[in-house]
Amino acid sequence: MDPILIAIVAVALLALGCAVVALRRGGDSGLAQSARLLAQGQAQLEGRLKQMAEAGAAAQSQLAEQMQAQERQLAQAVDVRLAEVSRKLVEGLEKTGTQTTTSLDGIKQRLAVIDAAQKNIAELSQRMVALQDILSNKQARGAFGELQLEDLVRDALPPQVYEFQAAIGANRRVDCLLRLPNPPGSIAIDAKFPLESYRALMQATDDAGRLVARRALAVAMTKHVVDIAERYIVPGETAESALMFLPSEAVYAELHANLIDVVELSRRRRVWIVSPTTMMATLTTIRAVLKDSQMREQAHVIQSEVVKLLTDVKRLDSRVESLQTHFDQAGRDIKEIRISTDKVTKRGERIEELELGVADAPAALTPTTDQAAQ
């Protein structure tokens, strides 16, 4: 509610109250007095109303000015805030755009890497399928083991030491024959890959199935050990032992972990079972043996050459001694020649003196005892 209206209502109520009080006090005098009081209240009310109207107008004008000033300040603040918000919005949009561009570039690079990885995975899957096809065929699996064996041997040894598919014994051919000097002699290496038995062992779901598969693997490995011992250890032609190459570290680990009987049998039959890792270590040892053998051969050659060199030195010393004898004889001959030349010179001088002094000729021509001796 308006404050001015509230003040007017309050003054009117006050005047009405005064009039009522006067009427209760009685008579005409009271009525007159009430009229006077009412008139006075009315005049005061009018003055108050005028003052309040003037004050309200001034306050309203001042309030309007304040409101206009506040509106201007608010407008300025709003403009500043809008400008700042616009600037931050533009900067944020630019930063977001830059980050988005960078992220998109990174995503493109990652997508390219993922695409290349997918291609590699697809190619690897094709190779794995091809490898699985190879390993599922016994003949192809045997060729796979032989190729791996050939790669290891070619990388470790010189070509003149090994021979693949070499003939030994009674028209038998071994996958690889290492021609080493005695001892130990030539060593036969045969590649075996009992994949079916090992795969059955890995696919077994219970202890009974694993036991049956492990026994089948033991039987297959025992047969391979016996075959190699009987076919590729030839007395007088090969060494007293042979090597069985397993192109799988997993099968090799399974043998030494759970099939110790088969390993012991191979040792008794002098068939040493090797994996790709142990095969490389064995070939490295064989290369060291070959190098030592070559050094021994070269040592014999060097020793023989040293003996010949000593003989030549002795012969040279004898000839130098003979030459020294000749030099000494030549020195003595030169000394005697100098003595003779001195005598000739002295005789010439005496002859010259005889030509200068004729009176002394008979005495000068008579030789002394010492001159006659010389």
pLDDT of residue 373: 42
Q: Over the range 147-186, which residues count as b (16 or more CB within 10 Å of their CB) and which as e?
A: ebbbebbeebbeeebbbeebebbeeeebbbbbebeeeebb
- Order across the sheet with 172-178: list the strands: 162-168, 172-178, 187-191, 242-245, 271-274
pTM: predicted TM-score of the whole model, two decimal places:
0.45
Q: Which pLDDT score is estimated for 32?
A: 65
Q: What is the pLDDT of residue 355?
A: 56
pLDDT for 370 equals 47
The pair of three-digit structure tokens given for residue 275, joined into one six-digit string:
């994996």
Write down the domain spans for the chain. 1-24+34-44, 88-136, 143-274, 298-374
Question: What is the structure's pLDDT at 264?
Answer: 92
Q: Give the dihedral sign, CA 72/77/82/87.
A: positive
**Measured torsion, CA atoms of residues 171, 269, 144, 164, in degrees rounded to the nearest 10:** -40
Tokens of 10: 């309050």
User: What does the alpha-carbon distance between residue 37 and residue 101 come to, in Å, rounded to a whole number?
Assistant: 89
Q: Could you list the mean pLDDT of each consecutive 10-residue stretch along the chain, which spans 374 residues?
A: 60 62 56 67 71 73 81 84 85 84 84 83 64 50 72 87 85 86 84 79 82 87 90 87 88 87 90 89 85 73 79 83 83 85 83 61 48 45
